[in-house]
Structure formats: C-alpha cells, structure tokens
C-alpha cells in the first residue's frame, strides 16, 4: 500500500471525480422524471383541495379543469366545473411546521366564504406523530369550514388536533389562519 502524499492526493481526486461524475450524470438523467413527479404531486394536491377527483392521470385532468389565476399577489389556481361555473380557488400554503417547512394548498369557494380542502405537498413532521397531519381524517376535518373575516379557525368542537402532536397541529392552524386573514380581504379583487 502506497502512503505517500502525492499518491493520497491523486487517489482522492480521482475517486471524487469518478463518483461525482456518476452522481451528476444520474441526477441529470433523472431530473426530468423527478421534477415531473414533483409537479404531479402539486397538481394532485390542487385538484384535491378543489374536490376534483385526480383519477389515473392527474396532469390531463389538471389541464382540462384548472387555470392559473393571479389573485392580488398570490399565484392561485381557478377550477371550473363541467358547466363552466367556477368551483373554487386553490392557494399555496407555505410556512414553518415544528421541524421544517410545510408546503401545501388550500381550496376556497368562489365566494371566499368556505374552505374547500387542505392538502400538503411537503412536510417534515415526525412520522407517526406530527406526520399524521397528512392523514385523510385530519385534513378532511377542514372541508367545508365557514370563513368569516376577523375570526380565526380553532380546534374544538368538530375540529380535533392530533394527540401527541400538539405543536404540529398548532403550526398547521396558524399557517391556515395567517393565509385566510390575508386572503379574505381579496374577495373584492375577485368579485370585480
């Protein structure tokens, strides 16, 4: 075994170059697939918060039913039903959870008076505890909640936090309330 400095440095450089190349090439090859997967996760979340069944091909349903719509400063999405009537808006939901960032979407009715749904695209809460914010029973509780200006949503009757995951439950709620507080005044913008 050769232990000279020259050999050590050359060995490390060659090895790093080989592995970096392999990883870079693999990542480059997979990049389109991975970003398409990520876009699909977002499309599915947007369809779900608007209560549209994504079906086997979320991207084609998405193309058919949803259009991007700027509401105030928000990059929102607007969905229509078969008759061309608006079903609702999907707004991005971003912020801090207990352990990391939470990204998702909320659906709001065309009249900005009801919550249509809540979905997460990314969350890093403890699996089995805070991670349960991504379970259907928890998210479904938010469907159909009435929105009133100046009135925060709170846990209590009809809306349960997760046992053993109080902080994550609260984090979701404060994200939601912050977004709604900003969104409700935009009702006028949409109406016009």
Partner 1 sequence: MIRSLLVRNIWDENQVLRQILGICSLLAVTNLVRNSLVMGLGLIFAVGLSSLTISYLRNYIPHRIRMIVQTLIIAAWVILFDLIIKAHLPEISRALGPYVGLIITNCIIMGRAEAFAQKNPPLASLLDGIFAGLGYMLVLVIIAVIRETMGFGTILGFNVNFLGLETWTIMVMPPAAFFLIGVLIWIVNIIMARQAAAGGGERG
Distance CA 77, CA 186 (A): 14
Angle at 50 between CA 135 and CA 101, to 5 degrees: 50
Q: Which is nearer to partner 1, 45 or 175 (CB)?
A: 45
CB of 49 to partner 1, least distance (A): 17
Distance between CA atoms of residues 65 and 90, nearest Å: 12
Minimum separation from the CB atom of position 177 to partner 1 (A)? 26
Q: Which residues bind partner 1 (CB under 8 A)?
A: 1-3, 7-8, 11-12, 15-16, 19, 22-23, 26-27, 30, 33-34, 37-38, 40-41, 124, 127-129, 163-164
CB nearer to partner 1: pick between 5 and 73 = 5
Is-contact 177 153, C-beta < 8 A?
yes
Residue placing its CB nearer to partner 1 in the complex, 88 or 131: 131
Find the shortest distance in angstroms from Cβ 103 to partner 1.
Answer: 12
Q: Specify the residue, 113 or 135, whose C-beta has the smaller distance to partner 1.
A: 135
In angstroms, give the least distance from the CB of 90 to partner 1.
Answer: 20
CB of 75 to partner 1, least distance (A): 23
Nearer to partner 1 (CB atom), residue 109 or residue 166: 166
Asked whether 47 and 54 are in contact (CB, 8 A), the reply is yes
């Amino acid at each position: 075994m050769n232990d000279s400095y020259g050999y050590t440095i050359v060995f490390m450089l060659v090895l790093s170059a080989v592995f970096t190349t392999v990883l870079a090439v693999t990542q480059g090859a997979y990049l389109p697939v991975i970003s398409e997967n990520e876009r699909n996760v977002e499309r599915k979340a947007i369809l779900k918060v608007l209560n549209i069944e994504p079906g086997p091909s979320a991207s084609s349903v998405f193309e058919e039913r949803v259009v991007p719509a700027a509401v105030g400063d928000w990059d929102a999405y607007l969905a229509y039903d078969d008759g061309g009537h608006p079903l609702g808006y999907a707004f991005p939901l971003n912020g801090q959870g207990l352990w990391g960032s939470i990204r998702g979407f909320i659906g709001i009715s065309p009249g900005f008076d009801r919550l249509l749904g809540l979905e997460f695209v990314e969350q890093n809460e403890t699996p089995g505890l805070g991670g349960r914010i991504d379970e259907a029973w928890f998210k479904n509780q938010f469907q159909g909640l009435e929105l009133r200006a100046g009135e925060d949503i709170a846990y209590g009757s009809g809306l349960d936090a997760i046992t053993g995951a109080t902080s994550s439950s609260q984090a979701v709620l404060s994200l939601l309330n912050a977004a709604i507080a900003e969104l409700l005044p935009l009702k006028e913008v949409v109406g016009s």
